[in-house]
Amino acid sequence: MKKNQSSTVFKQEISSGWQFRDALNDIWRPAAVPGCVHTDLLAECLIPDPCVGTNEHDIQWVGETDWVYQTHFVCTPELLEHENLELVFNGLDTYAKVYVNDSLLLSADNMFRQWRADATPMLKPGENKITLFFRNVFDETIPKYNAAPFELQALPNNDQGEPRVAMYSRKAQFHYGWDWGPRLVTCGIWKPIVLEAWDLFRITQVQIRQPETGPKEAIIATDLEIESTCDQTVAITITADTVTLCSVKQQLKRGRNAITLEGALRRPRLWWSNGLGAPYLYQYTAVVASEGGSRTDTYQSELGVRSLQIVREKDASGTSMYVLLNGVPVFMKGANYIPLDNFQNRVTHHRHELIVKSAAEANMNMLRVWGGGIFEDDSFYDLCDKYGILIWQDMLFACAMYPGDEAFLSSVKQEVIDNIRRIRNHASIALYCGNNENEAGWEQWGWKEQYSACERAAAESNLKKLYYETIPEALTIADSTRYYHPTSPSAGFESQGPEDGDIHYWGVWHGKEPFEQYEAHIARFVSEYGFQSYPELASIEKFSESEDREFDSTVMLSHQRCMADNRRDKRYGHRLIQTYMDRYFRKPKDFSSFLYVSQILQSLGVQTAAESHRRAMPYCMGSLYWQLNDCWPVASWSSIDYYGKWKALHYAAKKFFAPVLIAPKIEEDSVKFHIVSDEPESVWGDVSIVLREFSGKILFVTTYPVTMRANTSRVCATLPKHELLGTADERRVVLVSRFTTLAGLKAENFSYFVPPKDLELEVPAYTITSKPMKNGFELSIFSSTLAKHVHLTCPDVDGFFSDNYFDLLPNEIKTLTFATDQKNIREIERKIRVVSLIDSY
């Protein structure tokens, strides 16, 4: 703002002096706002840490209790002189009555909505009191559940306990429990409360659209909504960096004014997804100024200039599903994202950045914000813009049937409008999706068979109303520029095969099929597939005592939530890991070896899937594994654990999602060497194929010159197995495939002819040397025999290895970094531990 200018809008966050109490108790205790009741109780030592041991089960009463929050705030006479005074509640979880100076201001019943109310009649000069009564969700939902004409089905992974009432509340569904999450039904003021005072005019809505975007010019259209207290003339100026997009005088009427302004950016710097170019962001500003310019209101945001379509077109194979970014078809590499914590107030910008940056470092370009969680905080989408991560945004419905009454639908409509308006200006938002698996559940997984004809018709009508009427209507209001995908998976049904859209392939894991089946289940887009593993020992130590560290201890079982359909068999998830482990690996000798092998197993499975999806490009144009992260410490499908530790899978993802992939496929009689390039330009180089014994001896070498056109996948060589292997012992050889260009190594992959359990590994002797560098150390590691899945740890030192769980080839030095604040090189050298697969049995 320039000198002598003042804003027409004044905002004061009501964040201090908060107290809370149990509604049946008079003892007030200090509270943090924004926050939630669990973290307030935790801060007061009134509950134990829910992440530790089996504490979660002992604190179920918290979610069954009514809570009261209260604070006082001062209104100066000047504040009360403003023409308009509103209280804005950005997030109340969930059933709340809000009183100002003991008069009811509003009632809330949807965690995802923003609530605004005129506070003018209730506020007085001096001290004011605000009180919020939170009613427990069960008292609200159980009557609805009891009155419902039929029970709503839910999948077993939607592990919410009985009665199944989660679907009756517009509250994060994972709060009630999931197959990777605890049941912690929290409540409270989860987003800021703001007192907003304004005069003359204010900007109430901004939508930035890009009707035309090309390398020569981008047309930037801004739809502004300005609320005005009178008829007046204002000046509106819109800029992107230093370019003025438009500057106009505008006549406002009293009330709401909708204005569309356009401007052009010549030779715009485009926003690209990770791997294709810089995700350039313009600094966008819209300023509305009063006549004479002394009063202003300003909207600021970052603007990524790009065109983006989701192409759903009939073609020779079926119906396509791919992202076209700035005219380029882009294969989506990524994962499904769940909330980072059960308690959102514990999620900081730093934690968001760690996860989004980790996704980018693993060469991902898309995350799917899954429907059982929340619409994320602004900071998350800002970071996705910054790191070039496209977002598939689900609406918040997952793995269940939902009501379809008017009150429910109108609440959903408003929640969608509120949130989409908030996030629509982010370049990263690629598409919206109606729900997770709710149609598959209905059509495919036996839900509809549970009902009489009449109930079935009613349930089907609920589904149609929600995902085909209410949500699209809300999106038309909030953002009609993005593609809407009514449900995921959209394909893989009898009526619509995998050649027509996206699938969730769970034959591996839930269906117990072998990893090789991933190669047979490829669709136009694979939006879910995955395999579980345990967190590393250091993470498990944070929530367990040493006597708990057995897989069937109560504590470990409580941190493994995958159960069979009947939800009774608590050992089911662990047993599934074990079944697969028996198939591919030797029996781990102890608890910590099992943890380690579980991670290797997971990475092997997911790598098999992702490589086959990428080989099938352009038929298949997306591979999002389940799941990127965790919301508490648990055995799960994640590649990064709750504490931010990369599992073996995340290190593997960095390789199998690399811009250029060499992915040999070992078939019955031959090996096919596939190369996949996501590079925007052609790449030339040599493919070298080397067969080596574990002891280092080279048995076979060949090279081919290869040119890979931009954005293609092809087989660059096929070798008969007998030619390649000769008389070699399959259990003692590694096939090293490398693609090298003038600029250096572009891609490499190490393949084996037998499953890991049949490999005849030898005990490696490592030589490790280290040298200090900025922010840590460079480590070089060498062995004269192949070491499989080398796992480096540095106990008690906070740090990050740039690579881990890798295969160390015989007689080749592997160099990596260990980023840490610790400066003492001797100490690090002393502490570093190395294990590999041979140490696990």
What does the DSSP assignment read for 774-787?
TTEEEEEEEESS-E
Cα–Cα distances in Å, from 238 out to 127, 258, 268, 284, 755?
A: 40, 16, 16, 7, 61
Query: For residue 453, what are the contacts with CB-CB under 8 A and spacing of at least 6?
Result: none
If the CB atoms of residues 523 and 837 are measured against ligand BMA, the closer one turns out to be 523
* Closest approach of ligand BMA to the CB of residue 533, in Å: 13
Select the residue whose beta carbon is closest to ligand BMA and give its number: 157
Q: How far apart are CA 813 and CA 756, in angstroms?
A: 23
Of 504 and 654, nearer to ligand BMA (C-beta) is 504
Asked whether position 157 contacts ligand BMA by CB under 6 A, the answer is: yes
Residue 187 CB, shortest distance to ligand BMA, in Å, is 23
Closest to ligand BMA by CB, 466 or 634: 634
Considering only residues 458-497, where is the footprint of ligand BMA by CB under 6 A? none
- Give least dist CB 339 to ligand BMA, A: 13
Residue 557 Cβ, how far from ligand BMA at the closest point, in Å?
Answer: 17
Minimum CB–partner distance for residue 567 and ligand BMA (Å): 13
**CB of residue 261 vs ligand BMA: minimum separation in angstroms?**
42
**CA angle at 650 for the pair 573 and 818, rounded to the nearest 5°:** 130
Which one-letter DSSP state was computed for residue 536?
P
**What residue has token string 């994060």?**
172
Q: Of 178 and 392, which has the nearer Cβ to ligand BMA?
A: 178
Shortest Å distance, C-beta 568 to ligand BMA: 17
Alpha-carbon distances of 206 from 284, 299, 449, 771, rounded to whole Å: 11, 8, 46, 52
Give the total of residues touching ligand BMA (CB under 6 A): 12
User: Is 596 a residue that touches ligand BMA (CB under 6 A)?
Assistant: no
To which residue do tokens 């509950």 refer?
47
Residue 190 CB, nearest approach to ligand BMA (Å)? 22
Closer residue to ligand BMA in complex, CB, 20/637: 637
Q: Indicate whether 626 belongs to the interface with ligand BMA (CB under 6 A).
A: yes
Entry field: residues in the chain:
841
- Regarding 504 and contact with ligand BMA (CB under 6 A), the answer is yes
| DSSP β-bridge partners for residue 400 | 154
Beta carbons within 8 Å of 583's beta carbon, 6+ residues apart? 514, 755
Contact region for ligand BMA (CB under 6 A) — 174-182, 236-244, 263-271, 578-586? 174-182
Taking CB under 6 A as the binding criterion, the range among 161-169, 176-184, 327-335, 773-781 that sits at the site for ligand BMA is: 176-184
CB of residue 180 to ligand BMA, shortest distance in Å = 5
Q: To which residue do tokens 């062995």 refer?
A: 783
Least spacing, CB of residue 334 vs ligand BMA, in Å: 15
If binding is defined by CB under 6 A, does position 40 make contact with ligand BMA? no
Burial 408-423 (b: 16+ CB within 10 A, else e): bbebbbbbbbbbbbbb
Place of tokens 């991670």: 599
Site for ligand BMA in 74-103 (CB under 6 A): none
- Cβ at position 239, least distance to ligand BMA in Å: 42
Binding piece for ligand BMA, criterion CB under 6 A, among 131-139, 172-180, 229-237, 404-412: 172-180
In angstroms, what CA-CA distances link 78 with 75, 197, 198?
8, 10, 12
Contact between 558 and ligand BMA per CB under 6 A = no
- Closest approach of ligand BMA to the CB of residue 21, in Å: 36
**CB nearer to ligand BMA: pick between 95 and 178:** 178
- Give the binding range for ligand BMA (CB under 6 A) out of 99-107, 136-144, 175-183, 758-766: 175-183
Cβ proximity to ligand BMA: between 299 and 572 the closer is 572
Distance CA 638, CA 628 (A): 5
Instruction: Return d(Cα 30, Cα 70) in angstroms, integer.
Output: 10
Residue number, 39 or 487, with CB nearest to ligand BMA: 487
Using the contact rule CB under 6 A, the part of the chain among 177-185, 339-347, 464-472, 571-579 near ligand BMA is 177-185
Among 297, 439, 499, 528, binds ligand BMA (CB under 6 A): 528
What's the min distance (Å) between Cβ of 158 and ligand BMA?
Answer: 6
Of 382, 437, 500, 630, the one binding ligand BMA (CB under 6 A) is: 437
Between CA 814 and CA 234 the distance in angstroms is: 64
CB of 725 to ligand BMA, least distance (A): 39
Output 178 or 484, the one with its CB closest to ligand BMA.
Answer: 178
Residue 499 interacts with ligand BMA (CB under 6 A): yes or no: no
**Nearest by Cα to 542 from 642, 649, 626, 679:** 642
Q: Considering the rule CB under 6 A, would residue 180 count as an interface residue with ligand BMA? A: yes
Task: Tell me how far apart the alpha carbons of residues 183 and 632 are, in angstroms, rounded to a whole number.
Answer: 11
Going from the C-alpha of 187 to that of each of 63, 221, 352, the distances in angstroms are: 7, 40, 22
Angle, in degrees to the nearest 10, between helices 349-361 and 378-387:
30
Residues 627-646 that bind ligand BMA (CB under 6 A): 637
Lookup: tokens for 343 = 């308690």
Rounded to a whole number of angstroms, the minimum distance from the CB of residue 585 to ligand BMA is: 22
Q: Which CB sits closer to ligand BMA, 333 or 504?
A: 504
Closer to ligand BMA by CB, 387 or 580: give it: 580
- Which value, to the nearest 10 degrees, does the dihedral of the CA atoms of residues 341, 347, 353, 356 take? 30
- CA pair distance 557, 786, nearest whole angstrom: 36
Report 399-418 residues binding ligand BMA (CB under 6 A): 399
Closest approach, Cβ 759 to ligand BMA, in A, equals 30
- Taking CB under 6 A as the criterion, the residue among 169, 436, 593, 804 binding ligand BMA is 436
**Can you read off the two tokens belonging to residue 602?**
């997971």
Distance (Å, whole) CA 659 – CA 248: 45
Q: How far is the CB of 399 from ligand BMA (least distance, A)?
A: 5
User: Is 380:419 a contact under the CB 8 Å cutoff?
Assistant: no
Instruction: List for the chain the helix, strand, coil content (%; round to 5).
Output: 25, 35, 40
548 binds ligand BMA (CB under 6 A): no
Position 529 contacts ligand BMA (CB under 6 A): no
DSSP 3-state of 402: coil
Q: How far is the CB of 176 from ligand BMA (least distance, A)?
A: 13
Question: What's the per-residue H, E or C state across 265-332?
Answer: EECCCEECCCCCCCECCEEEEEEEEECCCCEEEEEEEEECECCEEEECCECCCCECCEEEECCEEECE
d(CA 683, CA 660) in angstroms, rounded, equals 9
Q: Pull the structure tokens for residue 93.
A: 């979880």
Region of 30-38, 178-186, 282-290, 727-735 interacting with ligand BMA (CB under 6 A): 178-186
Token pair recorded at residue 81: 């002189």
Cβ neighbours around 6 below 10 Å, total: 12
- Cβ closest to ligand BMA, residue 185 vs residue 687: 185
Looking at 135-143, 173-181, 550-558, 663-671, which segment touches ligand BMA (CB under 6 A)?
173-181
Output 339 or 756, the one with its CB closest to ligand BMA: 339
Using only C-alpha atoms, the chain has a radius of gyration, in whole angstroms, of 28
Per CB under 6 A, 179 contacts ligand BMA: yes
- Among residues 5 and 517, whose Cβ is nearest to ligand BMA? 517
Task: By CB under 6 A, name the binding residues for ligand BMA.
Answer: 157, 178-180, 398-399, 436-437, 504, 528, 626, 637
